[in-house]
Structure 1
């Protein structure tokens, strides 16, 4: 545990949320953490589960050895992240994340046509230590890597694969239009940070440029589409839209191949 924390009267959760790089997280209510039903199964994913939980709830025995305390801090972060993924898909958790979304705390879409649409964090898997967190744009339905390396190192499992789509399902009035200005009122922030970003970073799909001997069509075929899901199931309306988008994409690829052959 850092000295900054041990000398502070604040709780472990307050210290964690105030640490640099943890701005994406919201505060999980203590009542939720103390209800063991909400933590079902997490004891098999976290080492020293009981002690890590005691650390999060500020009930850890002060006599714990320093070498064990360092490992416990890592396990406490993992446990809080996994609890956080469950919390933010509850009614109260969604409400807290909604406040951060309205302030554009997660950044804005770098695409010019998205007109600085606020982003939402999403995981590409619910299993920890596999994929880092990505940012989902509800307008272009694409995902991006965080601009900051601190945020880019956050585990995607701490937000889960269902959060942004469930938020739009619960608050359908927030679903952004596919064209026109962004109507979401952003609590006092008039910055255009997102529109100044000139590069879009895709999730492990970055085409390293169309190299020699590589056609544009083959590069397009390599790119996988991101599919929004809620608890593993594709959202019906989005699924229909994606089928149409994929049909358009296939026609464009066929056209590119014909142009390259004629050239």
Structure 2
């Protein structure tokens, strides 16, 4: 990086905290950066829990066209952008500084979602995918297939990030609570599918293997499944009849 202003002496940096649809919160964490100097993005990427993020290119951030509309989504947008690009010269009190840092983390996440579906961003995420930085599928029959992060919504503060397996085409929660609390909007719903459109040779073959339930080594007969289905249908019909009778009693 060639940006001029650096962050120094950060001794008690708090991680992003937000309520994602009542499901999770981002935990506060402390880090020490007092022994050396770092640029803001370097510090952010080295913070524990941010391993799913890649480094957004300086040129991409400095091109204001790429940030269209984000000024209306992020509080203290100008100061947050200056902090990310290491050009913040304004003196801020502690309370304002904390608010700007929180906004900077949110702004970087939203920029990140746009960047990773560009050719440069996809290439950077490819390197992380090859190293299995996002983990491997917990499904036994997927044979440790590498995963990719995905958002269930492109709107911030809606859902936390999930992990997509291209072999079984299902999604999973991250193992780490720090990763599980990352906003899914920082990756978006498009990224993993765009990734395999650009790198189709990496798309693994679909797994035809399915777990087969057995009793004493013998497959459960299909008639047993049919009987269970019939029982469920009978119970559902009985429930509807009961509800209908209760409704008629109320009307009378």
Same fold (TM over 0.5): yes
User: Which residues of structure 2 form unaligned runs of 5+?
Assistant: 1-6, 12-31, 210-224, 236-252
Instruction: Kindly report which structure 2 residues correspond to 1:233-252, keeping only aligned pairs within 5 A, or say none.
Output: none
- Find the counterpart in structure 2 of residue 161 from structure 1: 189
Instruction: Kindly report which structure 2 residues correspond to 1:84-95, keeping only aligned pairs within 5 A, or say none.
Output: 84-95=112-123
Cα deviation for residue 47 of structure 1 reads 0.5
Cα deviation for residue 6 of structure 1 reads 6.8
Distance 1:255 1:103 in 2: 47
Cα deviation for residue 146 of structure 1 reads 0.3
1:40–1:70 CA distance, 2 compared to 1 (3 A): same
- Find the counterpart in structure 1 of residue 56 from structure 2: 28
1:50–1:261 CA distance, 2 compared to 1 (3 A): closer
- Find the counterpart in structure 2 of residue 148 from structure 1: 176
Partner of 2:134, secondary structure, is coil
- Alignment size in residue pairs: 192
Matched, 1:131 2:159: yes
Q: Give the TM-score normalised by structure 2.
A: 0.71
Report if the CA contact (8 A) 2:168-2:207 is conserved: no
Partner of 1:77, secondary structure, is helix
Distance 1:254 1:44 in 2: 55
Matched, 1:257 2:218: no
Matched, 1:52 2:24: no
**Deviations along 1:38-75, whole A, 9 cap, x unmatched?**
00000000001000000000111251222100000100
- Find the counterpart in structure 2 of residue 173 from structure 1: 201
- Find the counterpart in structure 1 of residue 67 from structure 2: 39
RMSD between aligned alpha carbons?
2.2
Report if the CA contact (8 A) 1:5-1:12 is conserved: no
Report if the CA contact (8 A) 2:160-2:183 is conserved: yes
Cα deviation for residue 258 of structure 1 reads 2.4
- Find the counterpart in structure 1 of residue 3 from structure 2: none
- Find the counterpart in structure 2 of residue 103 from structure 1: 131
Distance 1:62 1:91 in 2: 35
Structure 1 segments of 4 or more deviating over 4 A?
Answer: 253-256, 259-263
1:104–1:180 CA distance, 2 compared to 1 (3 A): farther
Distance 2:35 2:101 in 1: 16
**Deviations along 1:209-235, whole A, 9 cap, x unmatched?**
xxxxxxxxxxxxxxxxxxxxxxxxxxx
1:82–1:259 CA distance, 2 compared to 1 (3 A): same
Q: Give the TM-score normalised by structure 1.
A: 0.69
1:163–1:131 CA distance, 2 compared to 1 (3 A): same
